[in-house]
Amino acid sequence: MTRGLFITLEGIDGAGKSSHIDALEALFRERGRTVTRTREPGGTPLAETLRTLVLNESMDSLTESLLVFAARREHVLDVIEPALARGDVVLCDRFSDATFAYQGAGRGFDLGVLSTLEQWVQGGRSTRPETLLQPALTLWFDLPPEIAAARLAGARLPDKFEAQPVAFFQRVAKGYADRAAGAPRFARIDANQPREQVWQQIESKLRERGLA
């Protein structure tokens, strides 16, 4: 049976990652793969309920982090792991890297605590560290926060993260850069380019990894 493939799309709000997930899905379907498309926080009914709370309600940073990881646990067990076991390509709009970037770097929450939660939650049905679920490829849409803010301005009613000042997104962007520095699975996409050129970069990264 074809092995499952887990790909995540990461980046600050306004980086344009969500606008390319349709094309990614179409690319893999054209190659005969079954695709499971999902997002975080979210992906299950319970996780979507928690998403609404996380994106809209004011709360302590620990509470926020716990809710994000609670949603992720349900998502991993009910959606991601079963899809990978079936041999699907799983395309996920954000995963745990976003938590380290937003709650960790953005909010200033303890990275050590986040790492512990990551081990607990992404161990699937096992708590052994060697079974930690991580993407095979993370497409990181890197965009200067000032440009992202200009893209978001007036687009729609912002959630509590999108409404944050540029300084917050500067910290988040650095959080992503720090996370990428220690993880070969990251593929940086220069998102400060026209849409067609961004897609060309994505296709190139997939070819480099033997995934397209």
Please tell me whether 13 is known to bind a ligand.
yes
Q: Are 13 and 160 in contact (CB under 8 A)?
A: no
pLDDT at 50: 98
pTM of the model: 0.93
Please tell me whether 18 is known to bind a ligand.
yes
d(CA 92, CA 116): 22
Please tell me whether 78 is known to bind a ligand.
no
Q: For the chain, list the strands marked E by DSSP.
A: 5-10, 35-39, 89-93, 137-142, 186-190
For the stretch 13-72, pLDDT in tens is 888 888 899 999 999 999 999 999 999 999 999 999 999 999 999 999 999 999 999 999
Please tell me whether 154 is known to bind a ligand.
no
Please tell me whether 7 is known to bind a ligand.
no
Please tell me whether 14 is known to bind a ligand.
yes
For the stretch 113-166, pLDDT in tens is 999 999 999 985 544 445 789 999 999 999 999 998 888 776 666 789 888 888
Please tell me whether 174 is known to bind a ligand.
no
pLDDT at 156: 61
pLDDT (average), residues 176-184: 94
pLDDT (average), residues 95-103: 97
Please tell me whether 12 is known to bind a ligand.
yes
| Residue 199 predicted with pLDDT over 80 | yes
